[in-house]
């Protein structure tokens, strides 16, 4: 456990913005080379039969349209940059990449269970949910403006989103996979704080609103 919780030496070099730049670069590359979608997006057949295990990570850097890209990248900029400044770039990058992998494995399992062998998963939405969760733990008394208008306490917003994703995970079809991936983002962040940081998010929120 001591090894798992050994902290990195604090450094800051804008890892969040670097990740955004990589996502934008890949989006431009995909626009010019559409064949890369099949190579980088997560497809259960490609992983099982083709050995494309890198897709469990690379899917999170693939976005199918500009709206999808902008929404996820704004989330990384607004919340990820703040988290990185608090935890340091190395810790944030570890958190980000492990979240990608955890959500990818969760999506892979959902594909397997639902028999969705010909569908491709892409996007950093699951990771964004991990980032939102982390933001609510690090800044428990902060508010997030929904639709840029309505202020909602960060822990309350996480609880509402978790309930929505949990209910949605019982749906059928592609909704099952996307909701499961989002829920996996929350689960990963919760486990990360427990195992890596030695912090119980529930206790943090309870203490913040006593």
Contact yes or no for 29/36 (Cβ under 8 A): yes
So what's the pLDDT on residue 100? 96
Whether 73 is in a domain gets the answer: yes
Whether 9 is in a domain gets the answer: no
Contact yes or no for 12/83 (Cβ under 8 A): no
So what's the pLDDT on residue 3? 75
Whether 122 is in a domain gets the answer: yes
Whether 190 is in a domain gets the answer: yes
d(CA 187, CA 110): 15
Whether 61 is in a domain gets the answer: yes
Q: How many domains, in total, are found in the chain?
A: 1
So what's the pLDDT on residue 152? 83
So what's the pLDDT on residue 8? 92
So what's the pLDDT on residue 182? 86
Contact yes or no for 201/138 (Cβ under 8 A): no
Whether 120 is in a domain gets the answer: yes
So what's the pLDDT on residue 2? 72
Which element (helix H / strand E) includes 151? Answer: strand 150-153
So what's the pLDDT on residue 172? 55
Domain of residue 71: give its range. 15-208
Whether 3 is in a domain gets the answer: no
* Entry pTM: 0.91
CATH of the domain at 186: 1.20.1540.10
So what's the pLDDT on residue 151? 81
So what's the pLDDT on residue 170? 63
So what's the pLDDT on residue 148? 65
Residues of the chain with pLDDT under 50: 174
Whether 5 is in a domain gets the answer: no
């Amino acid at each position: 456990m001591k090894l798992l919780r050994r902290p990195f030496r604090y450094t800051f070099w804008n890892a969040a913005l670097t990740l955004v730049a990589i996502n934008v670069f890949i989006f431009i590359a995909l626009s010019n080379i559409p064949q890369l979608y099949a190579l980088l997006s997560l497809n259960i057949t490609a992983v099982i039969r083709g050995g494309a295990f890198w897709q469990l990570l690379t899917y999170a850097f693939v976005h199918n349209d500009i709206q999808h890209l902008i929404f996820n990248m704004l989330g990384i900029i607004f919340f990820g940059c703040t988290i990185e400044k608090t935890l340091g770039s190395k810790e944030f990058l570890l958190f980000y990449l492990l979240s990608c992998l955890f959500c990818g494995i969760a999506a892979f399992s959902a594909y397997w269970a639902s028999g969705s062998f010909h569908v491709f998963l892409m996007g950093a939405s699951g990771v964004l949910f991990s980032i939102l969760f982390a933001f609510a733990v690090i800044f428990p008394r902060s508010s997030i403006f929904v639709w840029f208008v309505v202020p909602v306490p960060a822990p309350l917003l996480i609880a509402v989103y978790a309930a929505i994703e949990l209910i949605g995970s019982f749906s059928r079809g592609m909704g099952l996979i996307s909701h499961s991936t989002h829920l996996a983002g929350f689960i990963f962040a919760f486990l990360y704080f427990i195992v890596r940081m030695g912090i119980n998010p529930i206790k943090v929120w309870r203490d913040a609103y006593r």
